[in-house]
Structure 1
Amino acid sequence: MVPTVFGLISIAIGLLLLVRGTSLDLLRFMLLSTLFSGSAAILMPALGGAAISPAHLVLAFLLARILAPGSREYAHIAPAVTLNLFLVIYALYGFLSAFLLPRLFAWQIYVAPLRPVTITGLFDTVPLVFTNQNITSAVYLVGTMLAGVCATIVARKPESTRKIVSTLCLMAWIHAAFGVLGVVLTNIGLGEVLNIFRNGSAAQLEQSYNGLVRMTGVFPEPSYYASYAFGLFVFVFECWMRDIRPRQTGSAALVLLAVLVFSTSGSAYVSLAVYGALMVIRLLLMRQQLSPRKALVVLTLALVGIIAALGMVMIAPPLAEQLGDMFSHMTVDKADSESGRQRSFWALQGWHAFLASYGLGIGAGSFRSSSLFTAALGSMGVIGIVTLVCHIFAVFKPLRASTYSTPRDERLAIGSAASWTAVSILIPAAISTASPDPGMIFAVMAGLALEWRRRRSKVQVGRAPFRRVSVHPMAPQAPRTRS
């Protein structure tokens, strides 16, 4: 293992927070570290070039803080595991499957590997065998599970909601700033400057289309950048709708919406379209509570967007045509492109692996997919897909009124926003994720939502408290009646 400069910085700050800070401070630092998911904190050449990200390195310090002798949080581990039970089963089965199933079904199916080394064509495959990618996927699944459990434990702190909201708003501005900075630097010929943050093992993909610079920030590819921005956008927007620090969350949501619109990412446009459709359903059918002022703001933004698009067509027709061609290429024409056909081929691998393994799966990390759900289906079979769906339902709680309303309890309101965020993260993951790992951000938001929305003991309203009254032995008593 070879630590990088990002690893040394993470270790230094992690040690400081381990000694002088709290578990909440470490969770916030871990969330901030996910902004550098394209970076590597520790390089592991022995595992074929795998790397440990800064966020996963900080997770080790968070675990140490929770498990420290004398820590009051040690007693909360069992309840947190119970709340995240389906995620725990999913991750542990995925861990076992990564080591057992590739050996069980070795040479019985051909797959496109998760990390192609000798592959040269778009549809080349190799026989199924146990590889280093099985080990890497198993470790990342366990990390996702631990992140979710730790988030549930930390969410018990009374100040957790306030500080987490502030942290995610800060992350929104930083992420947007990196995206804009990357575009500006590329246009002036200094795009390589941000490559110092991309020392991870992920490959760099196309950064421009038809002369338009694609927004990547410090992430390895535009799709990954846009998917991350979309998750942050949903959280701050849901908080804004529920009057949680409306100025702070509203401004963050506005800047992230602009970033997503100009990101030139198909994942961003599809995710916004799906989320927008869900918003319409919530407002019309579910009667999502939205104040008239906020409804006016949303309507105004929609009208401004339409007017801006029409104005661009009239004022700058060549630019409008270029943007329209780019939008069409990234969305409706994607299925007919080489990339679209390759993604369809990868997605079908999950179904073929599911059938070839008789519903057991062929092991996490055994093949490359283009959807989280087909990756889970082919890697971990029935157990994997069922536990993943059950965890999603446990987090989202679709039958709860608080999912669609604005609860008076701020903790419950932010928990509802976190649950919408966790589910919305799965929208881009359903069309772009290569492995069955749902990711650390999903696990953290789900873990926070499970604790913040947990039912507490209800206080009986309208009934006087029981009070013991002494009665004199000679006092007359009411006659007894038979029931």
Structure 2
Amino acid sequence: MGVEPIGIFTIALGLYCLALGQDATIKAFVALTLLGAAAAFVLGSSSVQPAHLFLLFVALSVLRGRRQTGPLFDGLHFGRPGFWLACLVLYGGLSAYFLPRLFADATTIVPLGIAEQPLTSGVVSLGPVSSNLTQTVYLVADLVCFLLVTTVASTARGFRAIVIGLIVYAALNVVFALLDVVTGAIGAQDMLQFIRNAQYTFHDNDKVNGMKRIVGSWPEASAFAGTTLGAFGFTATLWLCQRHSRWTGPLAVISLALIVLSTSSAGLIAAPVCLLIFYFTAVLRSGVGSGTGNSAAVTVLAPFVVLLVGLIVVLQQDIFNTVHDYIDVLVLSKSTSSSAIDRGSWNTFGLQNFFDTYGLGVGLGTARTSSFPVAVLSNVGVPGALFFLLFALTALGPGRAPARSFVADVQLAARNGCLCLLAGALVVGPTVDLGLLFFILAGLAASRPDAIAEATAPFIPLRHQSDLPALRGWS
């Protein structure tokens, strides 16, 4: 086991945050999930990311408070989202051990870890692989993360701390993306090697038609674009609700621009879906109750803006050629590339794995695919898909908070963030693990703050930082 400098920093930060209190700890944890290319510890060919290590400090901060142990275990009651996620983790862990052995040689798999190998050399007969253990550990960490977030968010202070942490996450994501672009332009990529030390294959120097692929603090452009979709969904919805508008509006616009410019096909395909989610949210908000100025403006102006931009692109030949060439390289011609053919083959093998194992799956972490639904079906089969669907429906369903309250607006933003992350995972999701950011947002959306009664006051638009908090109990 090797301890990396960033691992020492993570431990020091964890101890410091424990001394400051739970609010500081949860904010630091949310921000650390951004370091997707970093390793705090290196265990052979596996890496322990800083955020996964920091989960220990979040757990300690929660267990120190006697009042919060109740909500922690209440989340596992039958019918609650935590219960269904725990069922998925349990079935996933059992499937990871038993199914590759039970169905040994019954089908052909594309195992995790062969992304950079030719497909013909990567296909093997079904059997246990090392990623059975690592993916089980990741899924357990997702469950722990979800339960801890719902527990911290059960108080007004904790709820607000997580919101601040997510806004900081979006801001730092932009900062790292800009640093990536600048260091790439001046040939100083080594400046960011301290956050690119994990045992992954990196694509931080790749270019498409002369444009650098933006990776930020992630190993590749698709990972950066996929997580930025979640940041966009959260910040854009908060701006729509006029919450922290001074920060969330610019962050949403910059995040969307970075997704489009990242040269990620997945980001470019998923971005329109996220914009539709954003627009439908604006329509629903402007049509019920008092609404907000932002939602009404988006509802009325968005169609005209889209029409105007479309006309400009069509009528200006130079702009049309530039846009067409960019979309052609990333989407239209992508289907005939060797990468797309390989990814399509991964999904074909994944679906065949599902049928060859009679719908039970080949075991969590056994097979690689290129789409989240296929990953679920091929790895954990019908039982796992059912458990995840029940988790998603209960965690991302309508909340109990009064409409237009701070709690309701934040939980709406968290749900939209999860939906945007799922939109990206539908295109390139290789595993059942959706990442810690998804479960932080899901935990926030599913939380039941004990100060929810204080949020029954009429909606007050927040145009200035001095307007915060508009509701008592959220300062």
- Which whole-Å CA distance do the structure 1 matches of 2:39 and 2:390 have between them? 32
Structure 2 CA distance for partners of 1:283 and 1:124, relative to 1, 3 Å: same
3-state SS of the aligned residue for 2:360? coil
One-letter amino acid matched to 1:370: S
Distance 1:194 1:72, change over 3 A: same
Distance 1:420 1:315, change over 3 A: closer
Distance 1:262 1:305 in 2: 19
Aligned pairs for 1:391-430 (under 5 A) are 391-397=391-397, 407-430=403-426
Give the conservation status (yes or no) of the 8 Å contact 2:366–2:379.
yes
Q: What is the rounded CA distance, in whole Å, between the counterparts of 1:169 and 1:152 in structure 2?
A: 18
**How far apart are residue 152 of structure 1 and its match?**
0.6
CA displacement at 1:22 relative to structure 2: 2.9
The residue aligned with 2:442 is 446
Deviations 1:359-390 (A, max 9, x none): 21111111111112111111111110011111
- Picking from 54, 69, 78, the partner of 1:74 is 69
Shift of 1:259: 1.7
1:367-378 equivalence runs, <5 A: 367-378=367-378
Distance 1:122 1:455 in 2: 57
Aligned with 2:47: secondary structure? strand
User: How many aligned positions are there?
Assistant: 450
The equivalent position to 2:86 in structure 1, one of 61, 85, 88, is 88
Q: Deviations over 1:116-174 (max 9, x none)?
A: 29943467401122121111011001001110011111011212233222222222121
Give secondary structure in 2 for the equivalent of 1:106.
Answer: coil
In the TM superposition, what whole-angstrom CA distance separates every residue of 1:270-298 from its partner, at most 9, and x where no partner exists? 22211223344455679655534544367
Supply the distance in 1 between the matched residues of 2:120 and 2:225 (Cα, whole angstroms). 24
SS of the residue corresponding to residue 168 of structure 1 reads: helix
Residues 112-123 of structure 1 correspond to what in structure 2 (within 5 A)?
112-116=110-114, 119-121=117-119
Cα distance change of structure 1 residues 285 and 163 upon mapping to structure 2, 3 Å threshold = closer
Q: Tell me the residue number matched to 2:292.
A: 291
Contact 1:362–1:380 (8 Å) recurs in 2: yes
RMSD over aligned Cα atoms: 3.0
Residue 171 of structure 1 corresponds to: 169
Q: Relative to structure 1, is the Cα distance of residues 401 and 62 closer, same or farther in structure 2, using a 3 angstrom cutoff?
A: closer
**How far apart are the structure 2 equivalents of 1:239 and 1:78?**
30
Q: Is 2:62 aligned against 1:61?
A: no
1:13 corresponds to which residue?
13
State the AA in 2 paired with 1:340.
A
Verify the 8 A CA contact 1:415 1:452 in the aligned structure 2.
Answer: no
SS at match of 2:42: strand
Residues 183-219 of structure 1 deviation map (CA, whole Å, 9 limit, x = unaligned): 1221222233323311112212362111111211121
Partner AA of 1:76 in structure 2: P
Q: Which residue identity is paired with 2:177? A: G
Q: Once the two structures are superposed, what CA deviation does each residue of 1:300-336 show, in whole Å capped at 9, x if it has no partner?
A: 677678767877898893x863453122221232222
For 1:350, the aligned partner's letter is G
Name the counterpart of 1:347: 347
TM-score in terms of structure 1 length: 0.85
5 Å-filtered alignment, 1:53-452, equals 53-68=49-64, 71-82=66-77, 83=80, 84-116=82-114, 119-121=117-119, 124-205=122-203, 207-282=206-281, 289=288, 290-296=291-297, 317=318, 321-397=321-397, 407-452=403-448
Q: Which amino acid aligns with 2:140?
A: V
Once the 2 structures are TM-superposed, how far is the Cα of residue 409 of structure 1 from its aligned partner?
Answer: 2.0
State whether residues 392 and 423 of structure 1, in contact with CA within 8 Å, keep that contact through their aligned partners in structure 2.
Answer: no
The answer on whether the counterparts of 2:213 and 2:262 sit within 8 Å (CA) in structure 1 is: yes
Larger RCO: 1 or 2 (CA < 8 Å, sep 6+): 2
Partner SS state of residue 38, structure 1: coil
Deviates more, 1:93-102 or 1:73-82: 73-82
Contact 1:372 1:433 in 2 (8 A): yes
Q: For the residues of structure 1 that align with 2:119 and 2:153, how far apart are their CA atoms?
A: 47
- Calculate the TM-score normalised by the size of structure 2: 0.86
1:244 corresponds to which letter in structure 2?
A: R
Larger radius of gyration: 1
What's the offset of the Cα at 1:8? 0.5
Any stretches of 5+ residues in structure 1 without a counterpart? 459-483
Instruction: Report the Cα distance in structure 2 between the residues aligned to 1:143 and 1:5, rounded to whole angstroms.
Output: 22
Structure 1 Cα separation of the partners of residues 7 and 321 of structure 2? 45
> Percent of counterpart pairs with the same letter?
28
Displacement after TM superposition at 1:243 (Å) = 2.0
Q: Using the alignment, how far apart are the partners of 1:153 and 1:365 within structure 2?
A: 28
Q: Does structure 2 retain, via aligned residues, the 8 Å contact 1:370–1:431?
A: yes
Q: Cα distance 1:235–1:99, how it changes in 2: closer, same or farther (>3 A)?
A: same
Q: Is this contact kept in 2: 1:412–1:452, CA < 8 A? A: no
After superposition, the Cα gap between the structure-2 partners of 1:327 and 1:383, relative to the gap in structure 1 and judged at 3 Å, is same
Query: How far apart are the structure 2 equivalents of 1:305 and 1:9?
Result: 46
The 1:304–1:249 alpha-carbon spacing in structure 2 relative to 1, beyond 3 Å, is: same
How many Å apart are 1:428 and its aligned residue?
Answer: 0.5
State the SS of the aligned residue for 1:51: strand
